[in-house]
Structure 1
Amino acid sequence: GAFYQKPDGKFNYYASERWLPSNQVTHIAQGEDGSVLVLTDKGLGKIMFTKMTLQEKATFYEKQVRTRHIRDGFNGTLGRMKNGNLATGTLQDSDNDGLWTCMYLGGQIFRYAATKDPQALQNCRESLDAMERLYDINKIPGFPSRSYERTGYKYEDKPWRRTDDPEWDWKSTTSSDEVIGHIFAFGAMAELIDDKDLKSRSIALIDTLMSHIIKNDMYLVDWDGKPTLWGKWHPDYVNNFPINVGDRKLNSSNITAMLQTAYHFTKKEKYKAKAFELMKKHGYYENLMRPMKIIGQAPGNSSDWSKMLSGDWNHSDDEMYYMGYWGLYRYAFNDTLKANYKKAIVDHWQFERPEKDGLWNILTAITGIQDFDLEESVWYLQEYPLDMIDWTVKNSHRKDIELLPPNFIEQTTKEVLPPDELGIIRHNNSRFILDRNGRGSSEMSAGDIWLLPYWTGRYLGVISGATTNTVKK
């Protein structure tokens, strides 16, 4: 690869097919208009720098999503690509079609709230149509499917179920990360979208989902009458974990946020009563307020399930926490709870700061704290590559980074590398993963990865519409 030494003595690293035809560099020369020519054993690469506002970058990503990443209304991944060739890719279903779509939908909700752009409102309609159908396509009242596809798509795959419509199948086994994503987006839509139809439909979806959970004794119950593997918020499940296993804190935080959201928009007392029952009688308030510093591996005498779930820091849990924080903080039952929730959110954020994840930083700003690492958030947005193909990248061999000993939170280096030097990952992965064997086999959607943090920042007023940055092409 090629290195560029910055004025502060640190280096930018240009390697992988994101930047070069090959990592075997034989010569570097100055090109026209400030570009850099890099000769490799497989051809000549040209790295160019151009000025672009974050708004212009958002426009670029909006086109990327709408052109290549919408499948039946879902925000999806372009997969099965050959050597980074977009023309060879196909849109694929995912266990998390609902979650990734809700994160994209959240971004479009904030975009509309910030700009009143009619295209953003239309995108919201299309995504809500897809989300609504997750509930309508199966016969289980209030149960959200993971996904749906044309009949026969994966007929032998057990989670796929038949519908009355001979043209479509739906995917079962829905998990808790899907559910919290749904409640986040539906709540944001109910609060911020001034379209009466969208508002009423989003509230109805909140009500039907949460009614299902309460009716089924705090479980998400699938087609076979059994709880799904992850859809469990009953005290017998949650409080069975040792206090230092993250799922005890996470599930308590998420279900409280979900019940608060349901009560805020429906005013049905059953949601408020259940939330206070869980918080006071079953210790969910204590669970969710427990500081992050105690989260670690389960004690030796714990169940195998607890040990498996606590082997290391779970970054999907981080994503679930933050999807829940919107409802936990904004729809708190009272000011005392709101002030204490703020403490829990900021405590979590302190653990996340080294990753410099723009979404975690900007969502933390909903609490009103003045220092939420805005500079690092803008850095994240600026440094994210326009090319979102999952190339193979390797950084572990570098001599300019300071490696750390293995640790529970999986922080591999003293300082996190910029996004354009790492593999393309969603927010449910560690930004300290140095190597990734992507092979150019897929292109990720900017809808949840970049547009959600950007438009959240625009809505909250912490990012302006004219922030300029230099983009490398």
Structure 2
Amino acid sequence: MKKLFLGFCLLVGIATKAQTVADQPFLQDSADKFSLKEGEGNVNLLQVGSDRNKAIKVLSSQGLMLLYEKNLRQDVQYRPLLDMNIVALTEYQGQFVYLTEKAVLSNAWAGKLYINHGIEAPKAMGMGPDFLTLVAGEGNFAIFKNNQEVWRSSIESLNPISVQYDPNSGQFLLLTAEGLYQVDSVLKTAKKVFDGSDLTAFSLFEDTIVLGTTNGIQLLDRKTFTLNKLDQKLPWTEITSVNNIRGNLWFGSTKGAFKLREDGKYDYYASKRWLVDDHVADIAEGPDGSVLVLTQKGMSKIDFEPMTLAQKAEYFQEIQRLRHIRYGFTSDLAMRTPGDLSTGYFHDTDNDGLWTSMYLAGELFRYAVTKSEDAKQNAYEAFEAMERLTALPDLKGFPARSFERDGYEVGLHANGFSEEWRQQWEKENGRIWQLSDDELWRWKSTTSSDESCGHFFVYALFAELAPDKEWRDRAIHQIKIEMDHIMDNDWYLMDWNGKPTAWGKWNPEYVNSFPINVGDRRLNSTLILSFLQTAYHFTKDKKYKKGAEKLIKKYGYDENANRPATVIGFVEGEDLSNKWNHSDDEMYFLTIPGFVNYSFTEEQKAAHFNAAKSHWEVERSEKNPLWNYLFALSGGENIDSEESAWWLREFPMDLIDWKIDNDHRKDLTKIAPNFRSQTYTEVLPGDERTLHLHNGAYRNNGGSDGKREYAPYIYLLPYWAGRYVEAISAPQAE
């Protein structure tokens, strides 16, 4: 078994006991989106299909369109088709077949398929074996074989939507908005086998006929046509398309597309993460195992690629290095044009040190697992960026939030507060950005406790896992000077103006001012004890141990920290207890490896572990792999490894901050508003909800206008932490 923090394990010999999930290939879905060009807004997109040559064509109100080199454009390959009014298309034996006002025809089979159908106002066609063809129009239909008419008949008020051949019965099924007809080409009969209303689409699926309606789906027995079930527990009930694609049942709706899973639930594809827009016109089988989703404004090609979690990490690592490194920091990418990565640029944030510490930790874990020189180089580069956070301020160990060249700083706010708040802050406290001594750089002040959490977490990890002693010593020096700053300033982060920062407060007067039910009393006690234990562990300087003992014996910090997480709750009149703060979860879990593993005694360690376990138990419903793996680093067992792997598999490949809404979904069970802000009975997959960092949970709705790409460390840190604690195996062959 791989040992936990190496220095710690040399003392106590603890090893991980997480269950290992085999990293075998799974089908990773992702989407390519193709929008109509500007000026084509009046074009109605009607049908989509692909043939055995992997050509993708779209039928529109202005003729055929072809997907060519990432663009939807007019299809001019066959000039005769340009002069024909095509009203429907289908695929037969892997070839395109077209229904025009005059004929059914194809350019395959040497162009020999040509049926002059004679149907007025044709709308739909279906094909069976040996080119058996049914063409239906308003009030009438006809059947053809070998290009010759077999039978023609009429049905009063017939307004066909679609036609399919049922190989089980050897008969055609014809759908209208008011019912389903069965047409027998041999007996030359047509009968209405199901009366309905507001029908929109249908497909054959196993022993069932699945009917789409404007308010859910209806399931008919394929033999008897009896109604077995009306289902409205769907992501959305206004169905526009139904298709059986390679044995999977797909639905299009006016609010996205969804696929029926084996467990009876749905994979939901909506928002610009997946679709050009959410109003689906048609769904069809695409080339190479893909699914084509046609919407009002374009088409999406959803691919399903066999991939291991390790391959997914390689993909994200490339993106991280390519467009998410700023001066060695990890950085989100802002975009001037929504979704256009070529317009991306970097800017600072309030928590550059914290986010960078999380990417750096992932690279340290990767190095420990693989001994990759690339991982080591990336880690050292990130470390140097973080090291400079204390070098630029002349405040003896005070860590800046970030830095930027003078005149180019962007994030003038702090902690996400409003512009009005910033102005008021600067009026009372001075400018947030401070000029460095060389007058070339500005560093960002008002540093908060979450920055310190990231620093102490990753510097300890660096001191354990970095291969070069010189670099390990530099990390220990950072631990020392940051701890000294807090101790020398009466347990505060003391800013350039001589005032404590808004959140960098561990002083007993502040911490114990909160009732025991307020999370900050428990959290801040845990943080400062973990910092002191970490400093003592690496320096063996007794002043850190004495400082911790004073906080424990005189001010009850161990008692604060060891209370179970279940004590946290709403307290009347306390702003910090209105709801559960998931940013506190991030700080807590980054802190618990040091809090537990560097405890001064075995008795203290057991108490600290039990406190950490109580917090982990509260968090389990989120299925967050990072919390699970950090708990494993702290000695936790049975850490929900399978749920963690599920989270990693469902993490989206598209990291753009698209606006996402799930509030309309009828397939989810909502729960009453609650302290933890959980909306549904279970957490949604990551690719169906808005993106957020690890300091958020249950955010099912939100996002923005697509002008931000999140940095992939959100995936990379938990993946490599999982590999390190052996909760994920090395990649395995299928």
**Structure 2-normalised TM-score?**
0.62
**1:348-400, CA deviations, whole angstroms, 9 ceiling, x for partnerless residues?**
01111111111111111123333111000000111101111111111111001
Give the Å deviation of 1:321: 0.2
Q: 1:156 to 1:445 in 2, by over 3 A?
A: closer
Q: Which residue of 2 aligns with 1:107?
A: 362
In structure 2, the partner of 1:316 is: 583
Distance 1:4 1:245 in 2: 43
Given the alignment, which residue of 407, 411, 434 partners 2:700? 434
| Distance of 1:399 and 1:468 partners within structure 2 | 38
Tell me the CA shift for residue 35 of structure 1.
Answer: 1.2
* Equivalent in the alignment of 1:359: 626
Q: 1:423 to 1:156 in 2, by over 3 A?
A: closer
**Counterparts of 2:614 and 2:639, CA distance in 1:** 12
Query: Aligned with 1:364: secondary structure?
Result: helix
CA distance in structure 2 between the partners assigned to 1:244 and 1:82 by the alignment? 45
In 1, are the aligned partners of 2:463 and 2:475 still within 8 Å (CA)?
Answer: yes
Who is 1:269 aligned against? 542
Task: Quote how far apart the aligned CAs of 1:226 are.
Answer: 1.1
**CA deviations over 1:30-60 (Å, ceiling 9, x no partner):** 1122211111001111111011111111111
Give the structure 2 partner of residue 375 of structure 1: 642
Report the CA distance between 1:5 and its aligned residue: 0.8
Report the more deviating stretch, 8-17 or 454-463: 454-463
Give the count of matched residue pairs: 461
- The CA distance in 1 between the partners of 2:404 and 2:473, in whole Å, is 27
User: Residues of 1 paired with 2:620 and 2:552: CA distance?
Assistant: 28
Deviations along 1:63-86, whole A, 9 cap, x unmatched? Answer: 111000000110011114422111
Farther-moved stretch of structure 1 (290-299 vs 341-350): 290-299
Q: Secondary structure at the match of 1:433?
A: coil
Measure, in 2, the Cα distance between the counterparts of 1:333 and 1:112: 29
Q: Work out whether 1:216 is the aligned partner of 2:481.
A: no
Q: What is the identity, as a one-letter code, of the residue corresponding to 1:322?
A: F
1:89 is the counterpart of 2:356: no
Alignment of 1:283-302 (within 5 A): 283-300=556-573
Q: 2:366, 2:375 within 8 Å by CA — same for their partners in 1?
A: yes
Contact 1:54 1:467 in 2 (8 A): no
The question of whether the paired residues in 1 share the 8 Å contact of 2:261 and 2:267 is answered with yes
The CA distance in 2 between the partners of 1:280 and 1:26, in whole Å, is 69
Query: 1:299, CA displacement in angstroms?
Result: 3.1
Asked whether the 8 Å contact 1:263–1:269 carries over to 2, the reply is yes
Which of residues 183, 192, 206 in structure 1 aligns to 2:456?
Answer: 183
CA–CA distance in 1 between the matches of 2:446 and 2:519?
Answer: 22
Residue type at the aligned position of 1:232:
K
2:455 aligned partner, one-letter code: H
- Return the alpha-carbon distance in structure 1 between the equivalents of residues 291 and 504 of structure 2: 52
Give the Cα separation in 2 of the matches to 1:429 and 1:33.
Answer: 36
Could you say what secondary structure the match of 1:440 adopts?
strand
**CA distance in 2 between partners of 1:88 and 1:81 (Å):** 5
- Amino acid aligned to 1:288: A
Contact 2:285 2:292 in 1 (8 A): yes
Q: Does residue 70 of structure 1 match 2:325? A: yes
For residue 153 of structure 1, report the CA deviation from its aligned partner: 2.1
2:708 match: secondary structure:
coil
1:445 and 2:711 aligned: yes
* Structure with the higher strand share, 1 or 2: 2
Query: Which AA in structure 2 matches 1:296?
Result: G
Pairing 1:400–2:667 present: yes
Please give the per-residue CA displacement for 1:242-264, whole angstroms capped at 9, x wherever unaligned.
11000000000011111000000
Question: Given the alignment of the two structures, is residue 461 of structure 1 paired with residue 734 of structure 2, yes or no?
Answer: no
Deviations 1:292-318 (A, max 9, x none): 112112234xxxxxx211111101000
- Amino acid of the residue matched to residue 7 of structure 1? E
The answer (yes or no) to whether the contact 2:660–2:701 under 8 Å persists in 1 is yes
SS at match of 1:407: coil
| Partner Cα distance (1:310, 1:89) in 2 | 38
Q: Which residue of 2 aligns with 1:390?
A: 657
1:114: how far off?
A: 1.1
Rounded to whole Å, the distance in 2 between the matches of 1:124 and 1:454 is 16
SS in 1 for 2:474: helix
- Please point out which of 433, 457, 470 is paired with 1:160: 433
Relative contact order, higher structure (CA 8 A, sep 6+):
1
Separation (CA, whole Å) in 1 of partners of 2:390 and 2:480 = 12
Cα deviation per residue 1:69-126 (whole Å; 9 max; x = unaligned)? 0001100111144221111121110110000000111111111111110011101110
Q: Which amino acid aligns with 2:564?
A: P
Deviation per CA, 1:415-464: give whole Å up to 9, x if none: 1100011111100112x1221132111000011x1111111111112211
Take 1:334 and 1:192, find their aligned partners in 2: how far apart are those partners? 24
Instruction: Compute the displacement of 1:468 (Å).
Output: 7.5
597, 609, 613: which one pairs with 1:342?
609
Equivalence for 2:3: none
CA RMSD of aligned residues (A): 1.4
1:196 and 2:469 equivalent?
yes
Residue deviations 1:130-182, cap 9 Å, x none?
01111111111011111110111249942101112122111111110001110
Deviates more, 1:362-371 or 1:86-95: 362-371
Mapped pair 1:121 → 2:386? no
> What are structure 1's unaligned runs of at least 5 residues?
301-306
Aligned to 1:253: 526
What secondary structure sits across from 2:498 in the alignment? Answer: coil
In 2, are the aligned partners of 1:22 and 1:40 still within 8 Å (CA)? Answer: yes
The aligned runs of 1:36-55 (5 Å cut-off) are 36-55=291-310
In 2, Cα distance between the equivalents of 1:47 and 1:152? 43
Q: Residue 593 of structure 2 contacts residue 634 of structure 2 at CA under 8 Å; is this kept in 1? A: no
Change (3 A) 1:111 1:328: same
More off after superposition, 152-161 vs 186-195 = 152-161
The reply on whether 1:242 has 2:529 as its aligned counterpart is no
- Corresponding residue of 2:259: 4
Q: Match of 1:434, as an amino acid?
A: N
Q: Which runs of 5+ in 2 are unaligned?
A: 1-255, 413-430
Give the distance between the partners of 2:330 and 2:733, measured in 1 at CA.
27
* Contact 2:348/2:411, CA 8 A, preserved across alignment: no
CA contact (8 A) 2:364 2:466 kept: yes
Name the CA distance, whole Å, in 1 between partners of 2:396 and 2:281: 63
Q: 1:155 to 1:84 in 2, by over 3 A?
A: closer
Q: Distance in 1 between matches of 2:631 and 2:443?
A: 35
Q: Which residue of 1 aligns with 2:42?
A: none
Distance in 1 (alpha carbons) for counterparts of 2:554 and 2:733:
52
Moved more, 203-212 or 33-42: 33-42
Corresponding residue for 2:281? Answer: 26
Amino acid at match of 1:452: L
Q: Which of the two has greater helix per residue?
A: 1
1:149 partnered with 2:404: yes
> Is the partner of 2:463 in helix, strand or coil?
helix
Aligned match of 2:687: 420
- Counterpart of 1:460, as a letter, is V
1:357 partner amino acid: N
Amino acid at match of 2:368: A
- 2-structure distance, mates of 1:425, 1:283: 35
What SS does structure 2 have at the residue aligned with 1:262?
helix
Does the CA-based 8 Å contact 1:148-1:171 persist in structure 2?
A: yes
Q: Provide the rounded CA distance (Å) in 2 between the counterparts of 1:458 and 1:135.
A: 31
Partner residue in 2 for 1:328? 595
